[in-house]
Amino acid sequence: MSFLPYAVAAWVCIVGIYGIVTSRNLIHLALCLTVMQSSTYLLLLAIGYVKGGGPPIYKGVKLGTKSVDPVVQALTLTDIVVSVTVIALILALALDVHKQAGTVDPDEIREMRG
Amino acid sequence: MTWALPLPVVVPLVAAALATAGDHLLPRRLGDAIGVAGAAGGFAFSLVILLASEKHTQLTWFGGWKPRGGAAIGVAFVADPLGAGLAALASGLVLASILYSWSFLRDAGRPYDVLMLLFGGAMAGFALTGDIFNMFVWFELMGVAAYALAGFEVSQVGPLQGAINFAVSNTVGAYFILTGIALLYARTGALNLADIGHSLAGHRPDGLIIVALTLLVCGFLIKAAVAPFHLWLADAHAVAPAPVCVLFSGVMVVVGLLGVTRCYWTVFDASLAPQAHDVRSVLVALGIFTALLGAVMAFLQRHLKRLLAYSTISHMGIALVGVALLDERSLGGAADLLLAHGLLKASLFLCCGILLVRFEDIDELRLHGKGRALPVLGVMFGLGAVALSGLPYVGTYLGHAQIDEGAALDGIDWVQPLLMIAAGVSSAAILRAGARVFLGWGPTSDPLLSPEPSESPPERSASMPALLGVTAVVLVLGLAVSVAPGLGQRVEQAAGRARDRIAYVDRVLRSRETPSPRPPVAIEATTTDSVLYGIGGVVIALGLALVGLYRRRLPELVLGPLRAALGPPIALLRAAHSGVIGDYVAWITVGTAVVGGVWALLLRR
């Protein structure tokens, strides 16, 4: 198994966090959060990869055929479903921020501090 | 008993679905009743499970997928008294909040009840599950419901800012947790907690274990609002409706600490037991730092809910010290502390809700003296504040005493005075606010306190007796925690069982039951030292509250140097709590990197 997918997962995670930290736009920020989330898919799928393994569909396949790990794929799907909800909520909140404050810059909606 | 195990989760979720589906079909009162019945049902089943789990750990495998050959295949719910106790606290507070909201937010509409039920059900699921990925799913479901509740007042910018900061910080935490889970799965091929721990047993910690430990612990500590991961909490609490704050402060943050406890004792203890003191030193340091920082920030607030939020952060730091000492007595102490704190803080938030209904304001200075019209509320507020300071045999005292005595047994004698100071300072802030609002003491202006946006009042025609009734019941339960006969011993036994990895593996993977003896039914005895620390906390609280109110009467000879010494650090603290989400995530990242780096240096020696 190559080292590369793990390095890419780490890189994507760091890029996502960098985007969140420096973002000046809530929509951009929500997308950076999905970038960070993509690193978890990459990591999970890399962990489940088996060299030469087929897709984990067992109907009509000979017993003993190699396949990649189906568990991580189920985890990835669950992760997608759960995270879509969160991102949708954050985008909805960003929309309301724009309605109320006329801006989507997190620096300009600082009502509370200190 | 196994049939009842999923019910604290299933009942609220089904009630939420029914209430949503029937929103436009059923009469309004019936919809309300479904909400209350769902919450009450969840609470009742949690209590049943709690009582059963005290005899032996309850276990159920979903779909009948039992372990084969000592390896878990399916997903299990495993109820030990600590987890079941948290589920009971969560569903109990959900019930109290829904009853209070009936009068407080009469026009909130059906989504409000539904979100509360989802929130409560997800917390119960998190507390009861025995599968690490299942923990992540409940964690996220709980999160989504909580973000929506924090931003419930979408017509104002403050709640939106609070909800976004809350949602983004906690989602970053959730991805840390998921990455940690993926790493553990890569090493062990298991997702069941007992199974993972069993596979790791006896292996020395390597890079992967340390990274997984860091990501899981830091991810959960974001939810637990431990500094420097705490910045979102005050924003979310300040803007959420008062009954929602009850759940945020009372149980949601506790869920984060249960996550740390569960992961450490079922999984990482297997590999890290020989180096436990290194894990302990880092977490104790974080706890002390959080306790003191939260207390100081609480003292600088004038927005009452934000003040209580910082006091919650301080108490989470104290509880983290209890968890981090890694012994039975301290962990039991943390649980007792959090139980009492959850109930007392809940009653204080409910008091704030009543102030908002009555005076349409939540600002300490603008409410100056107005509370004199509500003497009963003033007494309740004062009792709640004093009970949080550690007054012997009242409220949080039992938890404080157990943590202090655990620390003394571990040979660490410097944490007790620091925890006393933290509890004293945060209670001083609450007492100062209470004295100003309910007694009219002190001046009506104070440049030391941060100004915050005001909040639009909820239902004007709320029924005051109903609000006061719910608040009083929660307060009395909180006050009684320290003198409930047998509670201290039972919680300590529960803590001992949560720490027993071998018995957990035996129960989950081999279905072997280890019955536990019945603890004595007596009020927990505490040492003279603990009584003195408790009294010290109260003295600090009362003294500092008076200083906060009448600071200007001190001679300039004292005030001048004080101002010069404390001014710059206070300004720095304020600047760090900037209210911008990017800064918060930067702190989270730096904090995680530092914790991981220190552990990498210490644990690989």
Tell me which of B179, B233, B305, B589 to substitute to probe the interface with A (most A C-beta atoms closer than 10 Å): B179
3-state SS string over chain A? Answer: CCCHHHHHHHHHHHHHHHHHHHCCCHHHHHHHHHHHHHHHHHHHHHHHCCCCCECCCCCCCCCCCCECCHHHHHHHHHHHHHHHHHHHHHHHHHHHHHHHHCCCCHHHCCCCCC
Q: What is the mean pLDDT of chain A?
A: 92
**What is the pLDDT at residue B318?**
97
Sort B254 into a burial class: Cβ within 10 Å, 0-12 / 13-18 / 19+.
buried
The answer to whether the Cβ–Cβ distance between B234 and A21 falls below 8 Å is: no
Task: Point out the least confidently predicted range of A38-47, A105-114, B148-157, B383-392.
Answer: A105-114
Give the Cα separation of B568 and B118 in Å (integer).
44
H helix or E strand, kind and range, residue B110: helix B110-128
Give residues with Cβ within 8 angstroms of B146, minimum separation 6: B119, B166, B170, B236, B247, B248, B252
Give residues with Cβ within 8 angstroms of A100, minimum separation 6: B154, B155, B156, B157, B160
Domain regions of chain B by residue span:
2-603
Residue A25's Cβ-side half-sphere holds a number of Cα atoms within 13 Å equal to 4
Task: Please report residues of A whose CB lies closer than 8 A to that of B575.
Answer: 114
Q: What percent of chain A has pLDDT over 90?
A: 75
**What is the pLDDT at residue B577?**
93
Backbone φ, ψ for residue B68 (5° rounding)? -115, 130
Residue A114 has pLDDT above 80, yes or no: no
Count Cβ–Cβ pairs < 8 Å, chain A vs chain B: 137
**Phi-psi sector, B390: left (phi>0), alpha (psi -120 to 50), beta:** left
Query: What is the average per-residue pLDDT within B467-496?
Result: 95
Task: Please report residues of A whose CB lies closer than 8 A to that of B168.
Answer: 20, 29, 33, 90
pLDDT digits (tens, 9 = 90+) for B34-62: 999 999 999 999 999 999 999 889 999 99
Give the Cα separation of B439 and B501 in Å (integer).
52
Q: Which of B550, B590, B589 is nearest to B172 (CA)?
A: B589
Q: How confident is the model at residue A1 (pLDDT cuts 50, 70, 90)?
A: low
Query: What is the average per-residue pLDDT within B471-497?
Result: 95
Query: What is the average per-residue pLDDT within B375-402?
Result: 95
Which residue in B167, B182, B191 is closest to A43 by CB distance? B182
pLDDT digits (tens, 9 = 90+) for A28-84: 999 999 999 999 999 999 999 998 888 888 888 888 889 999 999 999 999 999 999
Residue B407 has pLDDT above 90, yes or no: yes
The answer to whether the Cβ–Cβ distance between B160 and A78 falls below 8 Å is: no
Q: How confident is the model at residue B605 (pLDDT cuts 50, 70, 90)?
A: confident
Q: B304-324 and B253-263 are packed helices; what angle lies between their axes, rounded to 10 degrees?
A: 10
H helix or E strand, kind and range, residue B287: helix B276-299
Q: What residues of A are in the B interface, CB distance below 8 Å? A: 13, 17, 20-23, 26, 29, 33, 36-37, 39-40, 43-44, 47, 71-72, 75, 78-79, 82-83, 85-86, 89-90, 93-94, 96-97, 100-101, 106-107, 109-114
The answer to whether the Cβ–Cβ distance between A20 and B238 falls below 8 Å is: no
Task: Please report residues of A whose CB lies closer than 8 A to that of B238.
Answer: 112
Q: Nearest-CA residue of chain A relative to B172?
A: A33
Give the Cα separation of B216 and B224 in Å (integer).
12
Backbone φ, ψ for residue B450 (5° rounding)? -75, 130
Give residues with Cβ within 8 angstroms of B42, minimum separation 6: B7, B8, B9, B11, B12, B91, B94, B95, B117, B120, B121, B124
Which residue in B162, B171, B575 is closest to A112 by CB distance? B162
Chain A closest-CA separation from residue B50 CA (Å): 29
Q: Which of B389, B478, B396, B378 is nearest to B429 (CA)?
A: B389
Which residue in B140, B579, B585 is closest to A110 by CB distance? B579
Which residue in A36, A101, A113 is closest to B172 by CB distance? A36
Task: Tell me, yes or no, if B138 comes closer than 8 A to chain A by beta carbon.
Answer: no
E-assigned strand segments in B185-246 = none
Give residues with Cβ within 8 angstroms of B41, minimum separation 6: B7, B11, B12, B15
Chain A closest-CA separation from residue B197 CA (Å): 19
Tell me which of B166, B168, B578 to substitute to probe the interface with A (most A C-beta atoms closer than 10 Å): B168
Residue B106 has pLDDT above 80, yes or no: no
pLDDT digits (tens, 9 = 90+) for B296-343: 999 999 999 999 999 999 999 999 999 999 999 999 999 999 999 999
Residue B460 has pLDDT above 80, yes or no: no
Which residue in A85, A93, A100 is closest to B156 by CB distance? A100
Residue B459 has pLDDT above 80, yes or no: no
Cβ-contact A71, A48 below 8 angstroms: yes
Task: Please report residues of A whose CB lies closer than 8 A to that of B307.
Answer: none
**What is the pLDDT at residue B372?**
95
Tell me which of A23, A50, A78, A93 to substitute to probe the interface with B (most B C-beta atoms closer than 10 Å): A93
Q: Nearest-CA residue of chain B relative to A10?
A: B179
Query: What is the average per-residue pLDDT within B140-155?
Result: 93
Which residue in B162, B182, B579 is closest to A40 by CB distance? B182
Residue B571 has pLDDT above 80, yes or no: yes
Task: Please report residues of B whose CB lies closer than 8 A to that of A43.
Answer: 179, 182-183
Give the Cα separation of B33 and B486 in Å (integer).
35
The answer to whether the Cβ–Cβ distance between B580 and A85 falls below 8 Å is: no
Chain A closest-CA separation from residue B136 CA (Å): 9
Query: What is the average per-residue pLDDT within B454-467?
Result: 76
pLDDT digits (tens, 9 = 90+) for B175-225: 999 999 999 999 999 999 999 999 999 899 999 999 999 999 999 999 999
Which residue in B137, B154, B175 is closest to A40 by CB distance? B175
Task: Please report residues of A whose CB lies closer than 8 A to that of B163.
Answer: 93
Query: What is the average per-residue pLDDT within A7-25?
Result: 96
Residues 151-170 of B with CB under 8 A from A: 151, 154-158, 160-164, 167-168
Task: Tell me, yes or no, if B282 comes closer than 8 A to chain A by beta carbon.
Answer: no
Tell me which of A86, A112, A113 to substitute to probe the interface with B (most B C-beta atoms closer than 10 Å): A112
Cβ-contact A72, A41 below 8 angstroms: no
Query: What is the average per-residue pLDDT within B499-516?
Result: 90
Give the Cα separation of B409 and B326 in Å (integer).
11
Domains of chain A: 4-57+66-108 (1.10.287.3510)
Cα separations (Å) of B566 from B377, B449, B527, B562? 34, 14, 35, 6
Cβ-contact B388, B395 below 8 angstroms: yes
Give the Cα separation of B49 and B4 in Å (integer).
7
The answer to whether the Cβ–Cβ distance between A29 and B168 falls below 8 Å is: yes
Q: Nearest-CA residue of chain A relative to B74?
A: A71
**What is the pLDDT at residue B458?**
67
The two three-digit tokens of residue B526, written as one number: 């505490």
pLDDT digits (tens, 9 = 90+) for B515-564: 777 878 888 888 999 999 999 999 999 999 999 999 888 888 888 998 89
Task: Point out the least confidently predicted range of B29-33, B163-167, B195-199.
Answer: B29-33
Q: What is the pTM of this model?
A: 0.96
